[in-house]
Amino acid sequence: MEKQIAAIYDQALVESKTYEWLDHLSNKIGGRLSGSLNAERAVEWGKEELKALDLDRVWLQPVMVPKWVRGTFEYASIESRPGNSINVPVCALGGSVATPAIGLRAQVVEVQNFEELKTLGRKEIEGKFVFYNRPMPADDINTFEAYSQTVNQRSQGALQAVQYGAVGVIVRSMTLRADDFPHTGGMSYGDLPRNQRIPAAAISTNGAELLSSMLALNPKLTFFLKQDCKNYPDVPSHNVIGEIKGSKYPNEIIVVGGHLDSWDLGDGAHDDGAGIVQSMEVLRIFKNLNYQPKRTIRVVLYMNEENGLRGGKEYARVAKEKKEQHIFALESDAGGFTPRGFSFDGSDDAFKKVSSWKPYFKPYLVDYFVQGFGGADIGPLKDETIVLAGLRPDSQRYFDYHHAANDTFDAINKRELELGAAAMSSLIYLVDQHGF
């Protein structure tokens, strides 16, 4: 076992294709929001690259995806008095409606959470922007945990604010860093009728601090927002899938993957280009080592994680329909940073089993194994028997880039990216050898 894992690491660190692949995906294709031309180019690219690996089978799985288009870039300013305005960086949240073509100008009410909306009531909120300014808590060592404690402002903020007559929402960006990048992300209006939907935008953390301090001085200041994003009917797209057939238990399927779509502001290098190329690398390494897996190893490049999860849902639906037996699914969707370990979502017995493999990972400093979330795209595969897992890279810098214009190839460290692929390949190798 140790020898094979050492060989996997050699492959990943010396002969890696991950960086070259990610360069292409980031710089030749770029941001690839579901329904966009770039997303289709990424599908085509993924298919061709998997074919070049000489796998047993490569195919596209059709799936309908939402199409939301940002339009021309957004504009916002704080107006302390007529003729005196300061621009602030904003971006529309994914799924948001546009402002009127001439823009939207209104006073602002700043809140930390939904309870405050209730306390203030319609009287204080009607006709104004609601400005959600609760920062990600800095005292949580796991930044994903900090993110999950604040993200409801973004995902549900408009739906909540509209109940009190707000005309729009401005949401503090989900990052711990003080900078000028607004971070987009998915939001939902729930069942709200079309004519009641209000525009939602993110503001950079520096912009949020500025707005908050200016509001303290002048609660009657006005905010101006202009955005012309639009929702279109669903369009066809694809998951990209490739597999090496198992030699002994071909019906037992092990899946590794990430999501091929990304937000549109950057080029999605960390989210989730890194996970895509690392997952492809697992199969490349096995092919290059002439490793014949006992079980079927499948790579899935899921479409539409960011604003719909349609690809993950469709993959699981088809798997169920075909009565395929998935024993293990691994996702990399937490950035291309130095890997620390994995989180596992399965039975206690399964966790005991994977924990017994920790000594293999210790020399590579990647033996942090915990029970917890696997990944969004593989979530729909969950049943009583499958084990889901997620690569857990160091999370401290992830939200510096997450869903923002600076999530670009230059933010990727080649070696850290490769180490992630090596850790994933090692884990897949052990699962293939031992099963569950």
Which stretches of the chain bind Zn ion, using CB under 5 A? 271-272, 333
> Which tokens in the block code for residue 75?
């504009």
Quick one: 157 or 375, whose CB is closer to Zn ion? 375
> At 198, phi and psi to the nearest 5?
-115, 150
Cα separation of 207 and 86, whole Å?
A: 10
Cα separation of 51 and 44, whole Å?
A: 11
Quick one: 272 or 281, whose CB is closer to Zn ion? 272
List of residues 6+ apart from 43 with CB closer than 8 A:
60, 237, 238, 240, 260, 301, 303
Amino acid at 373: F
Quick one: 74 or 333, whose CB is closer to Zn ion? 333
Cα separation of 375 and 332, whole Å?
A: 8
* Burial (Cβ within 10 Å: 0-12, 13-18, ≥19) of residue 151: middle
Quick one: 296 or 406, whose CB is closer to Zn ion? 406
Task: Find the catalytic residue in 110, 281, 305, 331.
Answer: 305
Cα separation of 229 and 8, whole Å?
A: 45
Asked if omega into 272 is within 30° of 0 (cis), the reply is yes
* Burial (Cβ within 10 Å: 0-12, 13-18, ≥19) of residue 393: buried
305 carries an active-site annotation: yes
CA distance from start to end of the chain: 17
**At its nearest, how many Å lie between Zn ion and the CB of residue 401?**
11
Quick one: 49 or 271, whose CB is closer to Zn ion? 271
Quick one: 228 or 272, whose CB is closer to Zn ion? 272
Cα separation of 361 and 349, whole Å?
A: 19
CA distances, 419 to each of 54, 115, 288, 394 (Å) = 24, 44, 17, 12
Which residues does the annotation mark as catalytic? Answer: 305
